Structures are given as C-alpha cells and as structure tokens.
Structure 1
Amino acid sequence: MDFAALKARQRAERHSHPENLALRVHRALSWLQRAELAEDSDGRFVFLWIAFNAAYATDIDPQHRLSEQDAFKAFLHKLCSLDSQKRLDQLVWQHYPQAIRVLLDNPYVFQSFWDCQRGLISEDEWTGRFANGKKQAAQALGSNDTATVLGVVFNRLYTLRNQLMHGGATWNGKVNREQLRDCEKLLGDLVPAVIAIMLDSPDTLWGDAVYPVVKHP
C-alpha cells in the first residue's frame, strides 16, 4: 500500500464518508505523500508521524483529554479490533518482528533513560522501568497481543519523535542512524495500514478531528 493506491481508493469512496473521517484521511494522505517524496530518513520519519497524528488526533473536552501516548494507544487498540484483514498482525509478526525486538532493547528510544541523564530519576528507576517495559513487551509478544506490542513500540517511536521535533538530534547525524532507519521503515508501512483500516471502517465513530476546516460566509 502506498499513497497512490490509497488516494485512488479514497477518491472513489469519499462521497460516502462522514465529514470527520473524510478530513482525517485527506490530511493523513497528504502527509503520507510528502513522506514518500522525502529523500532522508529524518524528514520521512517526521512526515510519517504527522500523517499518523492526522489520523488519530481527536478534539475532546480538555477536562477529559488523555495524554498523547494514552490517546494513540487507545487508537491502536481500536484499529486492531477493526483490522479484519489482519494488516497490523502481518506487520508485527511477519515483516518486523526482529526490528521490533531490537527497538525494544534500545535504551536511547526509552524516555526514562533520558530522564535519568537529566537527573530527574535514579539509574535504578530507569533500569527498573526499562526491564518492566521489556517484560510487558515479551509477554505481549508471547501471546500474539498485537495491540499491546504496538503500544509499547509507539512509546519508543514517540521518544524518537520528541528528539527530532524538539531539536534534540542533528539532521542526518551519525549517532542515531540505525534506530531511525528501522523506525522510519516500520512507520512507513504502519501508516498506510492505519489509513486502509480507517477506510475499511467508515461507519466507526472516529471523533471530531482537531482544527476543523472553518468555512466563512
């Protein structure tokens, strides 16, 4: 699945889509297209994350607003429950099992490691959290729990996202190339799968998209 195939499908089906789904998919596809045009891993990862964000972000009352990580975990669980063609299962268990295991073993995409470097928590605290995270992931891997595995994976991707978006990494730097390439490839296949599942489920309640289009008279 790529932008061209998904865009052709969206054009053919969008007349029957609810407005919120149509807006989410339209925006996500625009960023997926931009990601495919990127010639560097840093740019491609950033554009892919924006595409994912466009798909899942929901405008809700601030009093009930989830943290961003809780929001995309809930979104991933919802996608897995709707994934009748098992696209996400195939990515996790057939295409990227080794890359996921390497990612989960990498402390540099684990936020608590960086909290320790900043003196916010002790070394025992971050290593304990790291061990618990790996244990949780191992249990999910052992039971083929795709949604939980993806939730843990996206925690790591979120740390990498923060490093890039907040200027905590050098463009085309040498210190994070391997992990960035693995994450970019994984996200490059996950985002089209996410969009396809949403297109498969037009009658699902996706919620109000953030920053709706405002029409002036």
Structure 2
Amino acid sequence: MAFDLDHSGLKTKQRKIREEFPEDLGLRVHRSLSWLGRAEAVEGDDDAQFIFLWIAFNAAYAKEDAFDEYASSERATFTDFFAKLVSLDDERLIYDAIWMKFSGPIRSLMSNKYIFNAFWHHHNGKPGFDDWELRFVKSSRAFAHAIQAQDSAQVLGKLFERLYVLRNQLVHGGATWNSSANREQVRDGAAILAFLMPIFIDIIMDHPEQNWGQPYYPVVEG
C-alpha cells in the first residue's frame, strides 16, 4: 500500500507498522512526525516552518552522544546519517531532489557567504578567521567535487552545514522574523527541508532493522 509523503500519509503508515519498531525508533519517528505536522500547519511562514522542520530533523537523527563535548563533529554526524539514508533510498528520491528539483536553490545556498560559519567568525572578530574567503573557496571546491562525483551524501552534508548556520541565526535571535535581508535562503531552506524530511522519515520507518541510535532525551518515568 502506497502512502503520501506528508504528515497525514506518514502518520497513517506509522500507525500500521509501529509495532515492528524498536522502542527507541518508535520514539524517534513519533517525535519527528509531530514536528513535521507542525511545520505543515504554518505553511506560508518560512521562518517558523524552517525552525519546526529543523526540530523534526534533529528528532530523526540526533543520537545519545549528540551533546557530548567529546563526540565527533556535527559534520561527521550529518555525513554518517546521510550516507545511511542514501544507501537505503531505493527509489532515489534524495538523488532526484538534489539533481533535479532543488539543484538551483542548493547551488545558491552554497554560494551564499552569509550562511558560511567562518564569515561570521571573522566578522565578529574571532581570532584565526582572517582567511575566511580562502576557506569559502575551499568549501566551494569540495562541494563542486561532490557534485561532480554525484555523491549525494556529501552534497547533503555540505548543504546542511550551511543550513545549520541559518538555523543558528533564527534560533539564537540573529535574524528578524520575515526579514527581507535573508528571505531567499530561509525560503529555499524551508522548501528543501519540507521536501526531504518526509523522505527521511519514510526511509527510517522502512528500515527498523537499522541502528538509528538512541535518542538523547528518552521518556523517563517518575
């Protein structure tokens, strides 16, 4: 039975197969779907939709060591998660999103210095980032190499590094709601997340045998 790739369709699917889920996976999917549903409810408000979709993303991928100061970098965590999703994406929906549906917006986001972390470190006077432009060029070359190799996991990893900076700008009060100053990247970021998150959740539900990790904040009784 086919299910629509939106909150309603995925929730229906989840209810039918959730008995097959390990407890940790059931919690992860339940939480991610709840935030996906909230994001759909605010369609038209790009800032709110982006934030809610990012929470859905966090619920889907964050593991028990996500906030451990000795854990691997966020970049490595992203890449591992995306590599697993891409390898399990039999319908190549992620591939189609990157190279067909959102090719232009992704390239635009990757060429935007205002969502490049080193730019802001330099702008705020943090030592060691006078070479931010060189870092930006190097990052752009690495992205171009990933595109040339058609490496979907690496492309997603590099894209989400930029979206993470955008997430920080919004969540930490570094942007004005509905501001024209960052409208294009917020709009494109929200659209990309809105398309990809249902795919991510669907793949996770289709593969309960995989180790998706233990959520950092499990339900604790008492």
Q: Same fold (TM over 0.5)?
A: yes
Give the TM-score of the pair, scaled to structure 2: 0.93
Which letter does structure 2 place at the counterpart of 1:69?
R
CA separation in 1, counterparts of 2:128 and 2:218? 43
TM-score, normalised to structure 1, is 0.95
**Contact 2:122–2:130 (CA<8 Å) still a contact in 1?**
no
The residue aligned with 1:40 is 45
Q: For 2:137, which of 114, 123, 131 is the aligned residue?
A: 131
Please give the per-residue CA displacement for 1:2-39, whole angstroms capped at 9, x wherever unaligned: 10111111111001111111110000000000000114
1:190 matched to 2:210? The reply is no
CA distance in 2, matches of 1:123, 1:20: 40
CA shift, 1:211, in A, is 0.9
Aligned equivalent of 1:53: 58
1:163 aligns to 2:198 (yes or no): no
What secondary structure is seen at the aligned counterpart in 1 of 2:181?
A: coil
The CA deviation at 1:122 is: 6.4
2:62/2:216 contact within 8 Å kept: yes
Q: For structure 1, which segment, 141-150 or 54-63, has the greater mean C-alpha deviation from structure 2 after superposition?
A: 54-63
What is the total number of aligned residue pairs between the two structures?
216
Q: Which moved more, 1:89-98 or 1:59-68?
A: 59-68
Alpha-carbon distance in 2 for matches of 1:141, 1:81:
17
Equivalent pairs: percent with the same residue?
46
In 2, Cα distance between the equivalents of 1:82 and 1:64? 29
Answer yes or no: is 1:12 the counterpart of 2:16. yes
Structure 2: segments with no counterpart, 5+ residues: none
Shift of 1:123: 6.8
Q: Which of 68, 71, 76 is equivalent to 1:65?
A: 71
1:116 aligned to which of 104, 122, 126: 122
State how 1:90-109 maps to structure 2 within 5 Å: 90-109=96-115
Counterpart of 1:93 in 2: which secondary structure?
helix
Alignment gaps of 5+ in structure 1: none
